[in-house]
Structure 1
Amino acid sequence: MNPSCFTLVLFCIALVLALAIPSLKSKKPKRELPPSPRGWPIIGNLFQMIMNPPAQMWIHRVMEDMQTDIACFRFAGVHVIAVTSSEIAREVLREKDEAFADRSDSYSLNLFTDGYKEVIFAPYGERSKLMKKMMATKLMCSTTLNKTLGDRTIEADNIVTYVYNLCQLGSMATPINVRDVILTNCHAVMMRLMFGQRHFDEPAKDGGLGPKEKEHMDAIYQALDCFFSFEISNYVPFLRGWNIGGAEAEIREAAAIINRCNDSVIRERMHLWRNKGGKETEEDWLDILITLKDCHGMPLFTFGEIRGLCKDINVATIDNTMNNVEWTIAELLNHPEILQKAINELDMVVGKDKLVQESDIPQLNYIKACSRESFRLHPANVFMPPHGAREDTTLAGYFVPKGSQIIVSRYGLGRNPKIWEEPEVFKPERHLDARDSTVVNLLEPDMRFVTFSAGRRTCAGTKIGTSMTIMLIARLLQGFEWTLPPGKSQIELVPAQTNLFMAKPLVASVKPRLAPSLYPKIQV
């Protein structure tokens, strides 16, 4: 046994001693819980979780062995109920949405959000509902998104030219790091929408990320890696702050870097609006957050809440788009016939004498089908963020005690053979309705797989997320010929362990396929 495992075993022994008396005094639920794997006295399945990393895949193996779509794992005093069925997922996120609208508490998330002063991970209540409503009606509404279309188009132009410049540095078919390209676009769009500027300091001359933007992006990526981990301290509060497994130190470092980058912009802008009279109009999302007033005419949000909401936007505009675009291009490289169909659609809908625009997205149904298929096969994380039971209730006929965590499996839904034929095969055609193939969108109301979540805790930015994702795929496919890198006959489709991002950044060879005049200059 390696030293880290031995340390965890010692903690488990300490845990038994710490929990023995209160656990023995507590009353067991009288009603039937969902099927459960055999566990230990007092600590339940906690030891098995620790000894079978990554825990999220161990949970799926256990459920497959039990042949169940719902299972209850007891980690110390916490019931964690996993779901891999679309019917049960709809019950969680639709029929009993309010009963399961809470969030689970964790040291890492509490640290990252400065005590849940934001909306994604905050407990369900009046403040979180107010923030969610504000995000939907002020930041993500059609009026605001239409105002920022020009900024998004500039970055769509910039990313095409950035890749074109990379091609010019080498041979006509140049291997490039596709993940770096995608993250460059995602970060630049997020910065323009949120802060009204592409860079924190001096712009990068090549159109990529500058040093501070790279540091900011790396910290966001590091934070995403920690959010959905099964840490022992999530279930044993007295171990919080001990940095068992190292996730707490990583999230603390990531939060400090993101705060350092964001805070100076936020403070300067708050001073401008609240002490110097502001601007003529609100120009970006930060302006809107700062200028919102409550019913008494006072600022609606504090500095801490604005900071928290900005961090929400940081992570929410990166993970799904980055993950989906990278996996989609990887799958297309492994399926040249599908790649050619996507390119044929672009040539037919848009042509080769102008660049694809957001207004073309409704007609790009095959590309949207490719994106949907990547969401199904390759979600960003194994599970959705945990939902917390706000009261004693039932799920699929089983008893669910108040305080239980319900984790709906993105991975389990998308690969469930009861839902999908040939679930391991990348087949975009399955998303084209034979009766009406003219309407394809990224949302999945029947919960057969998950794109941007659902229910009261759904992502407020599904529209902008769809636009960013499809626009980036379309621009990259239209602007360049994509081939496997030298010496490769296939792309290795291997996910990471802590999340489901590609384990290694995708590298592919590209060369321009449009007239040189169509690649505009970088606008910083």
Structure 2
Amino acid sequence: MDFFFFFLVNCLLCLFSFTFLGFLARKAANNQTPAAKLPPGPARLPIIGNIHNLGLNPHKSLADLAKVHGPLMSLKLGQVTTIVASSPAVAKEILQKHDKLLSDRHITLAMEAGDIHKFGLPLLPVDSKWRNLRKVCNSYVFTPRKLDSNQDLRREKITELLEGVRRNVCERPGEAVEVGRLVFKASLNALSSTILSMDLADEATILSMDLADEATSEAARQFKELASGMTHEAGTPNLGDFFPFLAKFDLQGIQRRIRVHMEKALNLFEWLIDQRLRERKSESYVSANDVLDTLLAINDDAENREEVHMDLQRIKYLFLDLFVAGTDTTATTLEWAMAELLRNPKALTKLKEELDQTIGKENHLNESDIPRLPYLQAVIKEIFRLHPPLPLLLPHKAGVDVEIDGFTVPKGAQILVNLWAIGRDPMIWDDPNSFTPERFLGSEVDARGNHFELITFGAGRRICPGMSLAYRMLHMMLGSLVHWFDWKLPSGVKPEQLNMKEKFGVTLQKAKPLLAIPTLR
């Protein structure tokens, strides 16, 4: 049931008189920066403002509006003033030049579910709690030394992924596999092996937590549903966000549904932490030297509490951040990458040839090989450009009035950076809608927050702390799948006919899962 049906029905059944709404709108307007100072934007309807302009795919609708009104644009979504950046120059102003003033988060109702906005690193205001969590991530979780020391674990999980595909080829030759599910399981196990020294996609683990509806459910599928459910609900337009006085009613049930997903995941992490605490009390316990042991040691070490503090509540929510962000976005990006390669056989062949010549047909890909594979790197960058996992990033909030290009971004405004629009801008990219990895060969542009035409992981102080791990995983998984198997679409599906429709949410997923047939090379 789409958003606009909800909007009309709820307006008719649950809303108030137009007089009352008009009063609230005028009251809010009296407290706003004068409209003349706001960036340009589309005309607004009474009461709803520009909600009708969002459409079912807001990233595309906002990109079209930016072509008319410019790369710095303002809209009124109900009672919420929203500023949209759609060019590298404006994104740089927001995420770098005025980073300190515009780095707070605009918290939606979905983000309040489960109190994640009070504990989750991506949503906390830039304060001492946030700085503490960033320090933990940068000093204990995602350091180059830590990532290097765990690369054998990641390679083991990728080998298990390849073995699973090989087994499918041998046992069910000619049968298509669901690519997204395969890579999600591998990324979940790679991450959980590093953090928890276990495979979280082990069915017995999830079943013991009573997270399954049926005894035959697969653990990886269950966790994928939790992660996808949270990101989908968080990205669904919510009446309570547009009209704050409706927040307590949860008319669309978004808070209720996301809270169910979140509680299941938090209960799982709490159970895993408690289990480790019991193990650590044993005299025979040998440290697993994983992220969980490191964080528990910090929690136990009184000397470190002044400098770095991690209680059990913070650990639980940090795991929620890491697993939801790290698995869903990785699997989504890999699925888009495989889809684009299958739609573009020449690019797929070119990638195979690079892998064969550089790695050798009988050798496995290692993380140390990535710098020697420029075309593989170019493919990943091109996927970031065409299919950014977070098309609008996470919304920022202006802490004070800020002037950009002669216009005012008013205090309290929601700020969106439209990566999808930047990636498809013909003023920046030649033939922007085509999949052309060659555009990045010999280019210095990367996705590490330095080049604002490709800021997949954000930029400034809010840049994703797990960027380095994601970078390694994406290249290893895609390169390995292409190196060891030939892939083709199911019978009757031509490359140019492959369904590439998107399902909008916080993450931009394929509307229809990719099915592909592997054969041994």
TM-score (norm 1): 0.89
Q: Which residue identity lines up with residue 314 of structure 1 in the other structure?
A: F
SS in 2 for 1:384: coil
Aligned-residue CA RMSD (Å): 2.6
Unmatched 5+ residue regions in structure 1? Answer: 514-524
Structure 2 counterpart SS, 1:79: strand
Find the residue that maps to 2:503 and give its secondary structure: coil
> Residue 389 of structure 2 contacts residue 456 of structure 2 at CA under 8 Å; is this kept in 1?
no
Q: Is structure 2 residue 467 aligned with structure 1 residue 475? A: no
The equivalent of 1:184 in structure 2 is: 185
Distance 1:440 1:479, change over 3 A: farther
Would you say the 8 A contact 1:100–1:389 is kept in 2?
Answer: yes
Where does residue 211 of structure 2 map in the other structure?
A: none
- Residue in 1 aligned with 2:414? 405
Q: Output the amino acid matched with 2:156.
A: I
Does the 8 Å CA contact 1:262/1:307 hold for their aligned counterparts? yes
Name 1:358's counterpart in structure 2: 367
Q: Look up the equivalent residue of 1:216 and give its one-letter code.
A: F
User: Does 2:513 match 1:505?
Assistant: yes
Aligned counterpart, 2:209: none
Spell out, residue by residue over 1:195-242, the C-alpha distance to the aligned partner (whole angstroms, 9 max, x if none): 1100355389xxxx9733321221011112122333222233332243
Offset at residue 392 of structure 1 (A): 1.3
- For residue 139 of structure 1, report the CA deviation from its aligned partner: 0.4
What secondary structure is seen at the aligned counterpart in 2 of 1:248?
Answer: helix
SS at match of 2:470: helix
Look up the equivalent residue of 2:395 and give its one-letter code.
P
2:212 counterpart residue number: none
1:283 paired to 2:289:
yes
Higher mean alpha-carbon deviation, 278-287 vs 472-481, is at: 278-287
Provide the residue aligned with 2:64 in structure 1: 61
Contact kept in structure 2, 1:480 and 1:512, CA below 8 Å: yes
Moved more, 414-423 or 320-329: 320-329
Structure 2 residue identity aligned to 1:53: L
Distance (Å, rounded) in 2 between the aligned partners of 1:12 and 1:32: 31
Q: Deviations over 1:243-290 (max 9, x none)?
A: 3334223212211221232221012223444x5579554522222222
- AA at the equivalent of 2:194: L
Instruction: For residue 415 of structure 2, give the secondary structure of its aligned residue in structure 1.
Output: strand
Counterpart of 1:373 in structure 2: which amino acid?
E
Measure how far apart 1:42 and its partner are.
5.3
> What's 1:266 paired with?
273
Q: What are the Cα deviations for residues 70-99 of structure 1, in whole angstroms up to 9, with x where unaligned?
A: 211122332110111110011111111111
**Cα gap change, 1:440 to 1:102, in 2 (>3 Å):** closer
- Quote the Cα distance in structure 1 between the aligned partners of 2:176 and 2:125: 45
What is aligned with 1:128? 130
Q: Which amino acid aligns with 2:256?
A: A
1:31-50 CA distance string (max 9 Å, x none): 6110122224455334x257
Give 1:471 shift.
0.2
Cα distance in structure 1, aligned partners of 2:113 and 2:284: 32
Note if contact 1:386-1:405 (Cα within 8 Å) is conserved in structure 2.
yes
Partners of 1:277 and 1:212 lie apart in 2 by 32
The structure where helix makes up a greater share of residues is 2
Structure-to-structure mapping, 1:433-444, within 5 angstroms: 433=442, 442-443=447-448
Kindly provide the amino acid, as one letter, of the partner of residue 211 in structure 1: E
> Which position in structure 2 is the counterpart of 1:44?
49
Distance 1:472 1:241, change over 3 A: farther
| Pairs within 5 Å for 1:71-86 | 71-86=73-88
Say which of 440, 452, 456 aligns to 1:451: 456
Question: Could you tell me whether the CA contact under 8 Å between 1:20 and 1:42 is conserved in 2?
Answer: no
Write the distance in 1 (CA, Å) between the matches of 2:32 and 2:266: 43
Q: Distance in 2 between matches of 1:368 and 1:470?
A: 7
CA distance in structure 2 between the partners assigned to 1:488 and 1:416 by the alignment: 30
Cα distance change on mapping 1:203 and 1:240 into 2, 3 Å? closer
Q: Return the offset for 1:404.
A: 1.0
Code of the aligned partner of 2:87: S
Q: Is contact 1:71-1:81 (8 Å) kept?
A: yes
Shift of residue 446, structure 1, vs aligned partner: 1.9
- Cα gap change, 1:175 to 1:461, in 2 (>3 Å): same
Letter in 2 for 1:287: D
What whole-Å deviation, never above 9, does each CA across 1:285-313 have from its counterpart, x for those lacking one?
Answer: 22222221577555822322111100000
Q: Look up the equivalent residue of 2:292 and give its one-letter code.
A: L
475-484 vs 495-504, which deviates more?
495-504
Distance 1:86 1:295, change over 3 A: farther
Specify which of 404, 407, 430 is matched with residue 421 of structure 1.
430
1:255 is aligned to 262
3-state SS in 2 of match to 1:406 = strand
The 3 A distance-change label for structure 1 pair 271 and 100 is: farther
- Contact 1:483-1:508 within 8 A present in 2 as well: yes
Which of 238, 246, 251 lines up with 1:231 in the alignment? 238
1:68-467 correspondence to structure 2 within 5 Å? 68-171=70-173, 173-199=174-200, 202=204, 211-273=218-280, 279-281=285-287, 283-293=289-299, 296-298=303-305, 300-433=309-442, 442-443=447-448, 445-467=450-472
- d(CA) in 1 for partners of 2:131, 2:392: 23
How far residue 419 of structure 1 moved from its aligned partner, in angstroms, is 0.8
Count of residues in correspondence between the two structures: 500
TM-score w.r.t. the length of structure 2 is: 0.89
AA aligned to 2:421 is: G
Q: Please report how far the alpha carbon of residue 189 of structure 1 lies from its aligned counterpart in structure 2 after TM superposition.
A: 1.0
| Distance in 2 (alpha carbons) for counterparts of 1:304 and 1:215 | 23
Distance 2:175 2:232 in 1: 30
Identity of aligned residues (%): 24
Q: Report deviation, 1:112.
A: 4.0
* One-letter code aligned to 1:191: S
Give 3-state SS (helix, strand or coil) of 1:407's partner.
strand
